[in-house]
A and B are shown apart, each in its own frame.
Chain A
Amino acid sequence: NAGVTQTPKFQVLKTGQSMTLQCAQDMNHEYMSWYRQDPGMGLRLIHYSVGAGITDQGEVPNGYNVSRSTTEDFPLRLLSAAPSQTSVYFCASSSESWNTEAFFGQGTRLTVV
């Protein structure tokens, strides 16, 4: 009963490096999204998807890319990491729309030095 799985749990990057944060869900949910959480800022939406092949920008998309080639997976790519991207990243999924319960992964804590 995995739910939403994020990998890795922790990551340290050097400025300028690229990497992909993985998110997979096994609930056949159509809706998936990525958030970043910073102290005092709550959860800010980076990118979201309402189904395979469909993605859109959220509140803070700059510096991040996403793709949704399958229903299950929604990877988040950092093209050239910057210290401002140090944060905790959460992936979430929901069945038909965000009116139903969104299930969150346990988060990826990223530090960019």
Chain B
Amino acid sequence: GQQLNQSPQSMFIQEGEDVSMNCTSSSIFNTWLWYKQDPGEGPVLLIALYKAGELTSNGRLTAQFGITRKDSFLNISASIPSDVGIYFCAGNRDDKIIFGKGTRLHILP
């Protein structure tokens, strides 16, 4: 079954608010990845994290690779309407990528 626990499952926020979501696992991963999926499309990579403790930004997005290598978080600052979608964390181990169940982000008008 799924080895990554992603939370929250869904979020309803106002435009302009900051967003935070995280992923935890009982297993160690070599790499943590964050993807976004728009409706009717495949996931697209947002940020990749390669070292424990690494903090990486991509525009309004910031993600961190936990020190224990068993968790990661993604923050989105000052959300905008195009941030709507499903965000997936993913971990790489043993030549496989395992995905979390996703966080569905809704932005209220």
**Partner-B contacts on A (CB < 8 A):** 4, 31, 33, 35, 40-45, 48, 50, 56, 58-59, 90, 92, 97-102, 104-107
Contacts and interface: CB of A to CB of B under 8 A. Distances in A.
Contact of A50 (B31, B95, B100): B95
Give the interface residue-count category, chain B: 20 to 34
Given A42-B2, A48-B95, A101 B100 contact: no
A58 B9 CA distance: 24
A43 B98 CA distance: 8
A48 B98 CA distance: 12
A43 B88 contact: yes
B5 to A, nearest CB: 11
Contact of B43 (A40, A97, A104): A104
A42 B40 contact: no
A104 B44 CA distance: 7
B97 interface: yes
B68 to A, nearest CB: 19
Contacts of B42: 4, 90, 92, 104-107
